[in-house]
Structure 1
Amino acid sequence: MSSQLSSFQMFLPISDTLKYCLLALAIALFLTALIILACKMHQYYKYKSSILKDAKFMKATSVAKKTEGNVLVKSLSPGFLETARKEQDSKIQLMQKEMEKLEVHLTPSPPSTESLDDMTSESDHTREFRGKLKFSLNFSKKTMTLLLTVIEATDLPDYSRDPFVRIRVFSKVDEPQSDVQSVLHECETKVVKNSRNPVFDEDFCLSLKNYQLSNTCLKLEVKDFDKYSRHTLIGETRVALRDLKVSETLEFCEELQEKTKDIIGEVLISLKCLPTAQKIEVGILKFKTSSLSIIKERDVYARIDVFSNQQKQKHQKSSLRAKSKVTVFNETFLFSLPDPGKTHCLVLISLYETVANGRKLIGQTSLGNQTKSGHNHWDQMMQTIRQPVADWHPLYI
């Protein structure tokens, strides 16, 4: 036994002083660990208490604001509330006037109407005098052709910068009680830059074979060219071709008049109200036109714009369809409309055809609870909730 102890002491030659030093070091490390742990616990509880204080403060603030709002509403005098109601009514009346102004461009004005494509801010200006347009006509009965010479325009308004003339020949459909017209020809003059008295001096040969002069008229529109937006309509003039004399050149100098519109077709539209989803469904079913001369190998599509309480929603487009006398779409589109019974809504339908350099407007129509021509269709939709109601609407250009 004594030999074993001696061998152990030989392998572990540690003095008592060193042992005590190691023990003291271990105790110091342990105490240091306890101090660090206590500091971390103190920081944790401090952070938690600050979060609770902030939450109580936010809750108290929201309650105070709510109470303050209720007290403010209760403290408002009846006179102030009446003034607020009058201001709200005036805003609604202003909105109705704006929608009526938009409707003016889409409802027929005897004897015809003008396309919304010419709507610009400048078109709302009062223009008592729009200038004059000088042109000549010569009709040949032998060849059934009309020679039109657009000579010049004079005294155009100050805002006119780059004028040109758009020419359309219309022929009324030979149907009783129908205002639909066919577009026989459509062409334009060159654009004259920076001139209020532009000289065009251009000739156009327009064939009138198979058409009766008694139902045909010529429409000349003077417009201001805009490269980045819609062209501004300055004014227009019309000539009934039934008054032309054979082989005699007639020269005209006509004062430009306010724009008008023409019906060139019809579009079948369906409406469905979905009050639970707060949406309306607009369906483009068919489009028919009598303008046989402009039916070519082109595609057409419909664009739907919805205005609710003066706010324009994102427009939607139909797919392309081959152009024909009766073009079938059969497509529906959903638009948000909270509280359809009280929301002021206007639906604008535009038909376009594709051309080499972009698109060309065929015609437009509008309907809604603020329109003169389409409110009957809207009322039928509101009377048959969740059921589609279809009706034909005239297409204007």
Structure 2
Amino acid sequence: MLSTDMVSSLVLGVVCGLSVVAVGIVVVVLYILYRKRHRASACLNIKSGYEAVGDCKPSLMSISSSSQEVSISKESRTVQPRSSSMSTTSHGSMRSDLITDDTSSISARSEASVDSLVFEANFGAIRPDLYPRKDIVLQQASLDTGHGRLHTRLKYDFRTSDVVVHLIEAQDLPPSELLGGFNDPYIRISMVPAVDERIRQSSVKRRTSNPYYNEYFKFPVAFDDVKDKLLTFHLYDYDKFSRHNLIGQVEIDLGKIEISNSVEMWCDIQKHQQPVGVLGELLISLSYLPTAERLTVVVMKAKDLKVSTTTTSADPYVRVSLLIEGKKVKRKKTSVRRGSVTPVWNEALAFNVPAELFPKVEIEVSVMDHDLIGHGEIIGRCLIGPNRAGIEKSHWNDMIQNQRKSIALWHHLRR
């Protein structure tokens, strides 16, 4: 049996042990409470804008140890600006929606965090695709209406120093019964004064009075010289027998419009007027065969011949003279067509021309009114050759560049 002293010692030891355990538990509880309070203070410093002490990970839900009240706080969210209304939105309307504990100072400081919002990198950049440049549209009206309209676009290309002509379309061309079979229109474009010897001509649109072309042409000219140029469009009716009737024309004075930007134009087509001093027109075809050294002049027909006598008709024939260095070396003529101011010949006159003399050659084509007494009276003439100007020079150069082919063109007759 245990003695009384042993029991007392045992009881005392158990009490001491329990006391030590109780003290340890109290110490642990106090330490835990201290840590919780210290972490809560650190989180409060973070929300107030101060540097955090210790590791604090903010939570959406926190429970206080004293009152067991639950408070839920929303995380700060970055507000992205709307692209369409950013320029008119104030900073005050772009605040983070922060809800904190019932502390007004913390809420005020959280509003200051708007400065840390992240914006898109391209915000405020100019986007040219949102501001498309529209062509300037001009109307060029004429008192001489009823011949349709021409739709074109003009622009100067500074990279290549060219005037670019976009021939778009023609509309409302007169019916065929009014203009003698207007079915196959094409357009010839030129610049006055001429910038080169090229002939710019559109394709032929078959049997239509509203031809759509969508073709581009360029004229090399310095920008400072553009204001002195006149752009002309001549509208023709094509015929497979080379009967190209000039129906109408459009003239655009480039000195009156600004083509540094694209200019779209609608122009009334004017009826073609004979130039002053013109005594009619003659259709001639030229071809040169270098192997045979033969120059062939085909006199096809004439129209609107002006006779000086009181009669309304004439007896025309054509005389073709070959000139070498200005001297007439050979002459040939067609047959006579009685009583007509619109004669048709379709006669070929051939001349032997050596290749070495060809650059020095010109031809003089004269329309004569036959007279039984004498040599007849001259109605009009034209000179065609490399030293001429305008259409006479262009026709000759066209023949040289297209040897073995017949090149037909209308020529104005003058004294």
Could you tell me the TM-score, scaled by structure 2's length? 0.39
Computing the radius of gyration from Cα coordinates, the structure with the larger value is 2
Structure with more helix by fraction: 1
Could you tell me the TM-score, scaled by structure 1's length? 0.41
Relative contact order: is structure 1 or structure 2 higher (C-alpha 8 Å, sep ≥ 6)? 1
